[in-house]
Structure 1
Amino acid sequence: MDLLATLNHQLQQLRQQAETIDQQQVAGRPQNWFDSALFSCRSPQLTDYVAEAQRNLRHLQQSNLSNMAKQRLVQRLGEQTSALTRAFRNVDTRRKPTTKNKLKAVVQQINASSQQLYQQLSDTQEFERRLQDMISLASRENSAEAIQRTLALHARLGRCRKALSDIERQIQDLERRS
């Protein structure tokens, strides 16, 4: 029965680790840690799984079980203990993908914003070029209507250039944050 005492001690240590992990608030925590063939409980708390293994150990310690039932219970307890140990060892690995995915999403958003701003800059520069061409054509005429059109085009060109400087400032701000 020395092995049962060792197993009991190991499960107590696993329970302490589980309590520590369960106290940490983690976004995206899995609803179920283990396969239903291995544990009957379904919980986001690791202590519930350790408690199930401890119940199985107490059940094993009962003397009224057949040898076949004890063998099955010992095998199940070994698998549960092994799975719990692996889960605790890999708990940080489980958490990293969510952090990595969040970081990846932020980077993608920044890249999309950057690409969008550069596209907007290109479109506005093209619009500025067309306005300059229109001003050049309108300034060739000397009629009152042509002068009015030229003044209106100059006003539009001024607003266009202001938009260009705003877009360039946004691009600079975005690049500084990156």
Structure 2
Amino acid sequence: MKNAELIQRLRVQLKQLEQEVLQHDSQLVKGQRNLLQDTERFNEGLFNQTGAQLAPCIGQLSKKISQLEKLLKGNISTDTILLSCEGIQDRFTAVRRALNTTTLNVKSAEQQRASRFANAKKRRQQSHAESGFGWIATGVMHNSHQLYDELNKHMNWVQTFEQKIENLQSKLENCHSADKIALQNEILLVHRRLGKCRQAISYIEDRIQAFERPYKSQNR
């Protein structure tokens, strides 16, 4: 086969592949693009490309064909020419394989995401069980709106406890000595409740971050 015929045949083959790739990319939905955005679809050295869309491969393949055309015009060994041709055909095969495996890759990515969410949920439940805050309703831990409601409730309690401590301190300064021990014990008790409430606020804030982090990553 003459050199010009070889290049022409490769360019025709590339044009046909380009049409298939454009159709493939146009049919991708946003969810599929998001799932595969960080997925490497090809072996190292074939293409510099990640994600569901395959259009970038066409431009890279076109450059390889142009490089081969230059080699054919120069005084280059047959082995080098054959190696270049094999590399181009490997890339054609890889793109066609990617066209046929997008659905499988999406399903695999969905399973991996579901597994990550399940593991994250399990870790949150375990952390909740070990935190010592079992008095916070378990159902709240799985709903961001209820978490924020719980956070606001505890913040209001903090204000209430702080105000109560201030009032008790004022009474303590003016009470009879016989009543001081009882007031001091009451102040100590409210301080403990205040400390517990502040710990709960920190815990709930951590739960909010853990709950929202996977969804923020997904919607990037």
Question: TM-score of the superposition, structure 2-length normalised?
Answer: 0.41
> Which of 1 and 2 has greater Rg?
1
Question: TM-score of the superposition, structure 1-length normalised?
Answer: 0.49
